[in-house]
Amino acid sequence: MARSSFTSTPAGLSRRRLLAGTGGIVAGAAVGALAGCGDAGGGDGGTGSGDGGVPEAGMRIPDSKVALPKDDVQFRLMDSNDTKAPFWEEFFTAYQEKHSNIECTYDGLPWNRIEEVAPLGIRNGTAHDVLQLPPTIPLTQAVAEGWVSPVDDLIPDFDAWKASFPEGTFVEGVQVFDDKLYSVPLASDRRYISALHYSTELMGDAGYDPQAKPLTWDDYRDAAKKITKNGRGRAYGLVLEIGQPPRLTGIVRYLAVSAGLAAVGDFDPKTGEYIYDADEIAGAIELLMALQSDGSIFPGSASLTAPESWPRVVRGNAGTVFAGPWVTVAWNTQEPDFEFGVAEVPMDGSNPKPQGYALTGTDGVVVFSKSKVKEVAGDVLSYVTSMAGQTAWGKIVGVGNPPILEGANKAIESGLSREATMCQKLAAGMVAAPNLLVGNPDIELVNRELKPLSPDFGQIIQSALVGKTPDVKEALRDLKDRAMRTRDQAIAAAVKKGAKVSTDDWAFPNWDPFKDYTSEDYQAR
């Protein structure tokens, strides 16, 4: 008989290891958390600490509604680790107690390892039964190649299960292809991913309290200068992941929207045009460049990734960092004596816009088409996305990867820390953004034809910060021109292959940046 104890690989992160370290974020959690960079019967989901920490009682796994194997089998799941690891440890321990013939293995890996492991496993037919695909394997490709299976026939009571998700979660061209669902989101993407995380001691010594009064861009620059001056070479105003261009794009977008830019991602939904040349974008980059010229950015930031940046604040090397709620959870859990605050990004001007988010969720997982235990995969996904499973997820994982079921989010509110509550407050102020693929699924055919831009947005920001882009505005204008031409070429190529699409499909004239974009809005567009 298969052993009933939960198995986690050395690269995975156990709950005990998650709590063990006191010298900053341990590598397993840090590297997994968004390194490039995220679920009836709510009463039996287990209980937790409320800070995204350790559950106080085990989960109770309900009887399965599918016919599970009777023989000894192994079930393997791989994802990007971070704050999700304690949930899977708790869940698989309980699942194996319920089904002692099913040995469960969880591989929580950083994205660079997933980039290696997933393609190799797919080629060899040995991929995990359930896994997160790396960015280098688009779901469209995985579906077209037959690498993943739809879950329609794997999850019991599929239609009722699907209807339990928020409206707009499942979109043709995102997780759905030819009316079949291939990817299951386990968490909501309603996360304020570039919140200002700061040391209350260093920020207070500089004379600022972002909780009492939101910082302006000028305030933030002044605070960073004072933190740096007070630090006398030991502490700086900001640690910035200059070594990770995709993270820089997120920070600049958030700052630009806070300055009044009406945009979703890299587009102005009103016109469908790229916003790279917007004054707010240039202003946000110039703010970061000013912080650099002031000497307020932690030396060595040019070589740092996000996971390498976050611990610098805990260690007192920097006063602030822009980071998502997964860092809030990690600091609450691993650094209980470190006093920090969470606030919105500094604002410029009197008309900031809400940040947008995608209704389609995050932390999507797929079922490997050659899995020999697909029924186990369906049973696992059915529980994790039930109200009970999502409530357990929320209590253990916390606000870093919040449940996609809203009822589960409400169930965990009372147990959250002050900092996690602020993360929820920031998320509540976000609005559902229009989705290009909902407007026209054939845009996915255009996306397949798009050629990568070089230098891209993140690389231009990075170059500006290391002094290699003398004229930022000109570089941004050139980027917009190149992006528009590339899109036009991709549209033409897609149309030749039968796509019914035009540049008009990128425009949502009835979009209001202060309101959720609903199904009625798509119909009235």
Strands (E), 259-414: 267-268, 273-274, 318-323, 340-343, 356-357, 362-368
pLDDT greater at residue 59 or residue 290:
290
pLDDT the model gives residue 16: 29
Of 13-27, 408-422, 474-488, highest mean pLDDT? 474-488
* CA neighbor of 54 nearest in space, from 336, 384, 338, 403: 336
As given in the structure block, the two tokens for residue 293 are 């010229």
Helix (H), strand (E) counts: the chain: 21, 19
Over residues 192-196, mean pLDDT: 97
- Assess whether pLDDT exceeds 60 at residue 440: yes
Average predicted confidence (pLDDT) for the chain: 89
Over residues 385-394, mean pLDDT: 95
CA of residue 15 relative to chain centroid, distance = 21
Over residues 287-291, mean pLDDT: 98
Residue written as token pair 């779901």: 139
**What structural domains does the chain harbor?**
7-189+359-429 (3.40.190.10), 195-357 (3.40.190.10), 436-457+469-524 (no CATH)
> pLDDT per residue over 199-213, tens digit each?
999 999 999 999 999
Over residues 430-439, mean pLDDT: 94
> pLDDT per residue over 43-80, tens digit each?
334 434 444 433 344 689 999 999 999 999 999 999 99
d(CA 137, CA 135): 5
Residues 442/448/449/453 CA torsion (nearest 10 deg): 120
* CA neighbor of 38 nearest in space, from 427, 388, 456, 416: 427
14: confidence class by pLDDT, cuts 50, 70, 90: very low
pLDDT the model gives residue 412: 85
d(CA 457, CA 480): 9
- CA distances in angstroms from 513 to 64, 268, 424, listed in the order given: 44, 10, 20
- Assess whether pLDDT exceeds 70 at residue 40: no
Over residues 476-500, mean pLDDT: 98
Burial of 115 per CB tally in 10 Å (0-12, 13-18, 19+): middle
pLDDT the model gives residue 296: 98
pLDDT the model gives residue 470: 87
pLDDT the model gives residue 305: 87
3-state secondary structure of 365: strand
Over residues 85-104, mean pLDDT: 96
> pLDDT per residue over 296-317, tens digit each?
999 999 999 888 999 999 999 9
Assign residue 67 a region: left if phi > 0, alpha if psi is -120 to 50, beta otherwise? beta
